[in-house]
Structures are given as C-alpha cells and as structure tokens.
Structure 1
Amino acid sequence: MASPPDDGRVPPMPSFAEATRVWARIALLSFGGPAGQIAVMHRILVEEKRWIGDARFLHALNFCMLLPGPEAQQLATYSGWLLHGARGGWVAGMLFIVPGLVTIMGLSWIYVIWGEVGVVAAAFVGVKAAVLAIVLQAVVRLGSRILGSGLHRLIAAGAFVAIFAFDVPFPLVVLSAALIGLVAARAGVASARAPGGPGGGAGEVADADTVLGAESQALGSAAATGALRAGLLALFLWFLPVGLLLLVAGQGNVFTDIALFFSHMALVTFGGAYAALAYVAQEAVGTFGWLRPGEMLDGLGMAETTPGPLIMVLQFVGFLAAFRDAGWSEPLVAATLGGLLVTWVTFAPCFAWIFLGAPYIERLRGSPALGAALGAVTAAVVGVILNLAVWFAVHAAFREVWAVGIGPVSLDLPVLASIDWKAAGLAALAIVAVFRWRLGLAGVIGGGAALGIALHAVGL
C-alpha cells in the first residue's frame, strides 16, 4: 500500500478501540523476525495511519535496540504507550505476542504428536520467501529515510561489516555507534544530528501534533506516574511465578528450572533471538537435556515463519522440557504449562523495561547530544537489518552453509550446489510482488503460503 499523500492534514488521534484493531492487524502480519516486524509497524503506524512521525518512531526504536529482549515487541509496547498511555502499551505489547504464542503452541502439539507435517512445512517455505522480500523492503525504506549523511552511511556500513564479517557482539556495535554519534556531536559535526530529529523537517510537526496531543501527552506527570505503576506491576508479574515455584516446588523441579533459566535469559538477551539461541541450545541440550540435537532448529523454523517475535522459539523449548521431564500423567498439559511459563518470564520484563524507561527517554528527545547518539544507533540499525536480510536470504535459498574463518574474519557462505530452486524462485517472485507490483503485506505473505502449498500438492 502506498503512503498517504502529504497534504498537510494531520489525522485525528485514534480511539482506543481503533488502535486496538490496528495492533491486532500488526500482530497478525508480523512475520520475519525483528526486521520484518519493524518494517510492518513503520509502514502501518508512520506511513499509512500517520499516528506517529518518523522522528518519534526512530527515537523509540533506538531505545528498544539498547534493551535486552525482543526489540520489535518492545517497540510495539512503547508506541502503544505513546498513543494511549499504560493501557495502550499493555494492549499493543500483548497483542504482538498472542498470534505467535497460539501458533507455536499449536505447532508444538503437532510436532510431538505427529511430527513434521508436509503441508505446514510447504506453507512455511512460501512464507519465508515473502518475509525475505519484506525485510529487503525494510532495508530500502529505512535506509532512504535515515542515511541522509555521509557519517550515517559510514556507520551503517561499519555495523554491517562488523556483524557480517567479524561476528562483533550486537551490544558492542550499538554502543560503538552511540559513542561515535556523541563524539561527532561534541566536535560540532552537523551530520551527526539524528535523522528527523529536532529541526529535522515537517515530519516532526505532524508527529508532535498527532502523538503528543492533549489526550496522550507522554511528558505529563499523570502518564509518567501511570508508566511507573505499570512497570512495577510488570516486575511483580515477572517475580510472582518464579517465587511461588521456588517456595512450592523447590529447585530441581523442571518448572522451577524453566522459570529461573529463562528469567536469566530475559536479562541477557541483547540483540534479540539470534544472540540467545546458541546459548539456549547449548544449555537446553547439554546441561538440562530438554531437547535433542537439531530440535532447536525445528523450533526456530516455527518461530521464523509464524507471526510474533523470534524469541518465541523459547516457548517451544519450554514445551519440550515439561513434556519430557515433568513426569505428569498428562504430558501435553505439562508441556502447555511449560511453554506458557517460558512466555510469561520472557515477556514480563520487556513491559517493565519500557514502562520504567520510556518517560525518561521521551524527556530527553530535545537533547542534541542524545539525539546525535541515538541517530548514530539508528544508522547502525540499518546495517544490522541488512545483515539479517543477507542471513535470511542465504538460509532461505540454500540448504547448506559453509563457515569460513580467515584470521578475525568469519563468514557463512552458501554452498552453491545446495540451492533450493523452489525457495529461490518463490523469493524472487515475492521480491517482484513487493517492489514492482507493490502488493500489500497480507497479499505477499498469504500468496507465498498458498504457492508453497500448491507446489507441494503437485510434488515439487
């Protein structure tokens, strides 16, 4: 869908009911990990509805990229809070989780009862192709808005090379970008200003008029107090099941182990799901024995091709852990509770970080130094999303990847002979549909799934 014409008119503040419907729509379309999910939110909230301007959206994104946990879900929570305070944040953040929770729970049941189902796997092939096109579109759109200066283009390129070729930890990339932006601002470099930040153009006026109206003034004391209460409630909801399990079941119980382990993961998962998967797989397979080798990849395949945060793969781990180790007469009931417990302790902290931090980050929007630092982070995010796009393309179109290490350089290169022509063809068609035919998100994703199933039906 094309962006609405910039005719100078500011759309009215959405009602809570209207915003709720839009958050549900975003949640159902949020495929493809953080890159695709951020692209969906930007397209709907900024371009289509024009409820939030570019500057405030990017400012919120920068803050979320610095937090542990899934940045896309936290961005939804932050944006919901901007529009309707704490209740808006709760609804936006929870709706973002629900489709993935329900879908992966259903697929987990299928997985342990029947194993892999061909038609489901075929649909996933088509969805992956559509997601690749959406991620590439996100790189192009965000890059065109953000990389307006040589400094920001250099930061984006550096971030891409650092992660793609040198495996530099994501937090280090983000912190380095922020430091570069801060130093450049101190040195008086004009191009260090955040894209679309103070003085950045007309988009900022529409943003202030639509989001910071009298009905949802994010800087008001009432909104800040409401956010503080919501943040403390989120912390209480996080600690409650962990404390009860320690008191009632004690250590050594599989549910207690799940609560403690994934609460720890909630504190250290900087960089999203990919940054945490290797550690989770090692501990779940080697230390706890919850999963068999290779099952983590099956779970990741579910999370990559269903709506919601990629970190939802952890629900699959908790499901299998409780299914095998709870010792209940109804193992599927135990597995369901194990999966829900993982989701609870994974996402409750995410709400806490947003509600406790967002009011203070909003107050600092006018700071030139902070704007320069966060603007550099935004530029680095483009490089990070480009890396995700390349990673996704390689793993979607090729069955085998060759790890090459030369000194400090570490590359994952595709084995050309292992190309999956069906997946590559569907990806090429999806890219044409997005960039040439300008097909909408639902059409691209639904069409990809349908083509995948159709090819499976004829034996391809």
Structure 2
Amino acid sequence: MHHEDGPAAAKPSYTLWQLVRYMLRLGSLGFGGPVALVGYMHRDLVEDRRWISEADYKEGLALAQLAPGPLAAQLGIYLGYVHYRIRGATLAGLAFVLPSFLMVVALGWAYVRFGGLPWMQAVFYGVGAAVIGIIAMSARKLTEKSVGKDKLLWAIYLVLAVVTVVTESEIAWLFIAAGILVWLLRAPPRWPGKLQAAALTQMPLAGSLLGSVDGSVLAQVGIFFAKAGAFVFGSGLAIVPFLYGGVVTEHHWLNDKQFVDAVAVAMITPGPVVITVGFIGYLIAGLSGASVAAFATFVPCYLFTIIPAPYFKRYGRLPGVVAFVDGITAAAVGAIAGSVIVIARRSIVDLPTACIAIGTVLLLLKFRKLQEPAIIVIAAVLGLVLHPLLH
C-alpha cells in the first residue's frame, strides 16, 4: 500500500475486515434514518475508535451531501475509501447495504405471500400512518439544518414543496436549476468554468437518454431506479416523492397502498431508507426485480462517491461548489416536505390513522431520543387492535 497523500494518510489503525464487520453491524442494527446513521459513524469511527480522522470524516460528509444519492451509504463508501481506496469503498458499501437488502426481500416475500391476510393489512394500517409522522419530523429537522433562516433557500424550498404537491412527482432538472441559481447569485464564477459548464450540460442529456430506452420490465426497472439513484439529493427520504411519481403515477407498477407499505418497510428495517427500492422491486418482479432495483439505485451513488473522491480533497471547499450544494439541498428538502403532504393524503384515511400520525409527531417532539422502530412497533400494535374493529 503506498499513499501519495503524505502524513494525513498514515498507516490505518484498523484492518479492512474490521471496517467491513463494523459496516455489516451498522447495516443490521442502524435504525433511525440517514441523519442518525451518519451520527453513529461519527461517534463510533471518529470519537470512540479513532479509525478515521475528523478531517476525513468531514470531507466524506460534504461529498456525500454534494453528490446525489443516499447520504449514509455514500459516507460509508467514502470512509472505506479513506484508507483502503476502491477495495475498501466497495466492500464497506456492500456490507452496509446487504443486511437491510436481505431483510427487505424477506419482508417482500412475506408481503406477497400474506399481503391479503387481515393481520398484515392491520399492521400496515397503523404503520403507514406512523410513517407520515416520522417523515414529517425528518422533513422538519432537515429544513432547520439545511435551510435555516436563509431567504433565498426558503424561496427555493417553498417553490419545490408546492411543485411536488401539485405534480405529485419530483422534477429532477429543478434541483439542478436551484443549485445553479444559488451558485450564480452567491458565488458568481469570474470566468466561465469549462468543467462546470460541461458537467451541467451533460446531466439533463443523460436524463433524456435514459428516458427514451424501452425494453422488458426488468430493463425498465433497472433504468428507472438508476435514474432515481442518480437524481436524488440529500437524505434517503428524498427518493420517496421521486419513486412515487414513477412507480405509481407513471408506470402503475404499484398502487397507492402498496407504495405507502413499501415506505413503511423502509422505516421498519435498519440501514439506508433507500433500500425500500428492494421491496418495490420484489413486488414488481420477484427476487430478480429486487436485485435489479437495488443494484441500479446504488451503482450511481457508488460511482458518484469514488470518482470525485480524489478531486474533492482539492476543490470541495470552493465557494461555487458550496453554493451549488446549498441550492440543491434546499430544493431536495422542499420536495420532501411536499411529498409528506402527497403521501399523507393517501394513507391518512380516517380518524384513527390521523390520530396515529399526529401522535407520532407529538411523541417525537417530546422525546428527542425516541427511536423510530419503537414508534413503528407501537403503531403496528395499534393497527392490529383498531383495524379489525373498524373494518
């Protein structure tokens, strides 16, 4: 192993297998969504074990926020990259995603097999409502963190929230436009950056190329999820409105109820929220559908992490890059806020579900440390009790 990075990349104090074991454990037990997972990595790897330096962690986090794709998975891939380059990035990423993928496939199998059974419907009746409360709180936390008191970012946030509610889908080019807008207003380039211009003209092109290919269902699933993985910024929740637009509205692969159940499954299982794609894939085309969907979603995020990693050390703090990221993040969080309303209209069907959703919000407001799976379990029990009484 030779390092060109000088003293910063001294010999790591851990083996690659120790890191892989850590990622497997985090993927199996890491509940609480992207922000929580990113927090666990800092606590365990930077503070407790001192495997990763604070500077490397911060760089990884900034890159993960900049690049599209699921935040926590990308940070995991980057932390693998820090000392063990491509091999470390690949194994760390796989180890992080695999446990929850296997769980989602098992749940998908159970759902297809028993989905018609009253108890399964009853569980999801409660859980679906609680999920709305959880997403609403996550959206609030993300809003405070990434939009704050910034008027320009608030404007972008509100526009995207409204667009999402009205169109019930996520419009990828609006994200890019928001990034460019903030970049031009906050840190206008003194000379037209060839690199930036090239990158920005390529992105919509790639989107339209992907859109025109047609084929078997598996090919369609692969193309759609690759787009989802490539265009979703910020937290894993940002993929929800995007998926809704494609899976339900456009392709009619799932109905509303199945989609809300899929989001619920993502909340119940540990690891990245994005893994809901495995469940959706399973409902569309069995095990092969699940594998294609998960693979297609994660490949862009993996490439977006390892390809820029070496350059990011040099250019990541440029004001232009920071402004671009701020714009895209505000847009993504706005879309999440809008999607809360879209999905709530679907899964809050009566008074009990409304109460469960509101109760979830109140619990999360009162008990900051409360873990989401605990709420999901309570909601599932409530569903089992209430659903038979009402239906």
TM above 0.5, yes or no, is yes
For residue 312 of structure 1, what is the aligned residue in structure 2? 275
What are the within-5 Å matches in structure 2 for residues 213-362 of structure 1?
Answer: 253-259=216-222, 262-263=225-226, 272-273=238-239, 274-285=241-252, 290-291=253-254, 295-322=258-285, 335-362=286-313
Contact 2:20 2:92 in 1 (8 A): yes
TM-score (norm 2): 0.67
SS at match of 2:270: coil
Deviation at 1:433, TM superposition (A): 1.0
For residue 93 of structure 2, what is the aligned residue in structure 1? 93
Question: Cα deviation per residue 1:379-405 (whole Å; 9 max; x = unaligned)?
Answer: 446635653664466467x5559xxxx
What are the within-5 Å matches in structure 2 for residues 87-236 of structure 1?
Answer: 87-115=87-115, 117=120, 118-119=122-123, 121-123=125-127, 125-126=129-130, 129=133, 132-133=136-137, 136-137=140-141, 139-140=143-144, 142=145, 153-167=150-164, 169-183=174-188
Contact 1:66 1:171 in 2 (8 A): no
Query: 2 CA distance for matches of 1:155 and 1:258?
Result: 36
For residue 431 of structure 1, what is the aligned residue in structure 2? 365
Query: 2 CA distance for matches of 1:431 and 1:28?
Result: 26
Query: 1 CA distance for matches of 2:277 and 2:327?
Result: 27
Question: Cα deviation per residue 1:292-323 (whole Å; 9 max; x = unaligned)?
Answer: 5754444344335433444434434433343x
CA gap of 1:60–1:157, structure 2 versus 1, over 3 A, is farther
Task: Specify the code of the residue in structure 2 equivalent to 1:312.
Answer: I
Query: 1 CA distance for matches of 2:331 and 2:304?
Result: 22
TM-score (norm 1): 0.58
CA gap of 1:22–1:178, structure 2 versus 1, over 3 A, is farther
- Residue 451 of structure 1 pairs with residue 374 of structure 2: no
Contact 1:177 1:377 in 2 (8 A): yes
Match of 2:314 among 355, 363, 371: 363
Matched positions, count: 334
For residue 168 of structure 2, what is the aligned residue in structure 1? none
CA gap of 1:176–1:76, structure 2 versus 1, over 3 A, is farther
Query: 2 CA distance for matches of 1:378 and 1:23?
Result: 27
CA gap of 1:62–1:176, structure 2 versus 1, over 3 A, is farther
More displaced, 266-275 or 341-350? Answer: 266-275
Task: Specify the code of the residue in structure 2 equivalent to 1:455.
Answer: L
Question: Cα deviation per residue 1:125-165 (whole Å; 9 max; x = unaligned)?
Answer: 5566456545544555x45xx96xx8xx2343233223223
Deviation at 1:428, TM superposition (A): 0.7
CA gap of 1:58–1:453, structure 2 versus 1, over 3 A, is same
Task: Specify the code of the residue in structure 2 equivalent to 1:179.
Answer: L
Query: 1 CA distance for matches of 2:340 and 2:247?
Result: 24
CA gap of 1:106–1:69, structure 2 versus 1, over 3 A, is same
Question: Cα deviation per residue 1:211-268 (whole Å; 9 max; x = unaligned)?
Answer: xxxxxxxxxxxxxxxxxxxxxxxxxxxxxxxxxxxxxxxx965445544554565555
SS at match of 2:269: coil
Query: 2 CA distance for matches of 1:257 and 1:134?
Result: 31
Contact 1:122 1:453 in 2 (8 A): yes
Query: Which is helix-richer, 1 or 2?
Result: 2
Identify unmatched segments of 5+ residues in structure 1. 1-11, 188-250, 323-334, 402-413
CA gap of 1:386–1:269, structure 2 versus 1, over 3 A, is closer
Deviation at 1:422, TM superposition (A): 1.9
Query: 1 CA distance for matches of 2:336 and 2:256?
Result: 26
Query: 1 CA distance for matches of 2:260 and 2:182?
Result: 32
Contact 2:126 2:384 in 1 (8 A): no
Query: 2 CA distance for matches of 1:70 and 1:337?
Result: 22
Question: Cα deviation per residue 1:9-62 (whole Å; 9 max; x = unaligned)?
Answer: xxx955545544543454346667xxx40x124422335644667775565445
CA gap of 1:344–1:61, structure 2 versus 1, over 3 A, is same
Query: 1 CA distance for matches of 2:61 and 2:133?
Result: 26
Contact 1:315 1:342 in 2 (8 A): yes
For residue 321 of structure 2, what is the aligned residue in structure 1? 374
Deviation at 1:115, TM superposition (A): 1.1
Deviation at 1:94, TM superposition (A): 1.7
CA gap of 1:256–1:131, structure 2 versus 1, over 3 A, is closer
CA gap of 1:163–1:72, structure 2 versus 1, over 3 A, is farther
- Residue 45 of structure 1 pairs with residue 50 of structure 2: no
Deviation at 1:424, TM superposition (A): 0.9
